[in-house]
Amino acid sequence: MNPQETTLPEAAALEKPYRLNLANPSEAEPLAAYIEEGFKPEVLSAAEYAVASKFTVAKRRREWVAARLAAKRLLSWRFQQAGLYLKPGEISIENRPDGMPFARLPDGTVLGEGTLSLSHSSGWGAAAVCEPWALVGLDLETVAPRPKSFLETMAHDSEWAPWMQADPVEQTRLWTLKEAVAKLLGTGLSVGFWDIRFPLDGESRRLELHNNAKACWEKLGSPAVHFDSKPDEDRILTVAYAARSER
């Protein structure tokens, strides 16, 4: 079995094991400003406030807050389904040393390693939460033409076609596919751009993993990975998802 089994168009027909939420810049801006003034918004836990108050770049703080707003909406819904009513500030979204996000509850319970994914772009925050038996990775990027040097570094020959030079949507989509898979696998910065590849196969793409990305995937039990790419005005939101092998 290999991860190439599902091509992008086929995946669209599958039932989705995840939910998405987006927070827009105007939702996060007042909260970020409040933090900058030295106050803790109710919506954040003490641990989150400690992180948010240390950012030196205002844009980073705004986007970080936006992603947490989006994630808390999803997690509140998820917990309510289980009969657990928590205030947003009682859900603490933290990061493992490698960057992977997870949620901590007031009693110390840790949830979400692999089932929660965050992304930010142009002031927006995005979150995906999946079923406990699944894994999810999310990436949100603003559509923009990428410099030639970046494209040459990012895209392997097998992923590139001359028409892509004039297609910023496809350039951005390819990047989000790679980032979404990197987050699903939890590789962080331990993989190169070409270790997660999406070679063109006619009009569709198939996932191909190499080196450490392949090792991470095998460690997860070599699950089939599925994808959705959602263009939203000038942004692309891509979700990678898979069933955990121990299901």
Ligand X SMILES: CC(C)(COP(=O)(O)OP(=O)(O)OC[C@H]1O[C@@H](n2cnc3c(N)ncnc32)[C@H](O)[C@@H]1OP(=O)(O)O)[C@@H](O)C(=O)NCCC(=O)NCCS
**Which stretches of the chain bind ligand X, using CB under 6 A?**
64, 67, 95, 98-101, 118-120, 139, 178-179, 182-183, 186, 188-189, 191, 193, 196
Q: What angle do CA 4, 9, 13 make, to 5 degrees?
A: 105
Closest CB to ligand X among residues 120, 214: 120
Closest CB to ligand X among residues 85, 173: 173
**Distance in angstroms (rounded) separating the CA atoms of residues 237 and 231:** 6
Closest CB to ligand X among residues 187, 226: 187
Residue 171 corresponds to which tokens in the numbers above? Answer: 């350039």
Which residues make Cβ contacts (< 8 Å) with residue 194, sequence separation at least 6? 156, 210
Least CB distance from residue 119 to ligand X, whole Å? Answer: 4
Least CB distance from residue 107 to ligand X, whole Å? Answer: 22
**Distance in angstroms (rounded) separating the CA atoms of residues 216 and 211:** 9
**Distance in angstroms (rounded) separating the CA atoms of residues 206 and 22:** 27
**Distance in angstroms (rounded) separating the CA atoms of residues 145 and 132:** 37
Question: Which single residue brings its beta carbon nearest to ligand X?
Answer: 99
Least CB distance from residue 47 to ligand X, whole Å? Answer: 12
Least CB distance from residue 83 to ligand X, whole Å? Answer: 27
Closest CB to ligand X among residues 55, 79: 55
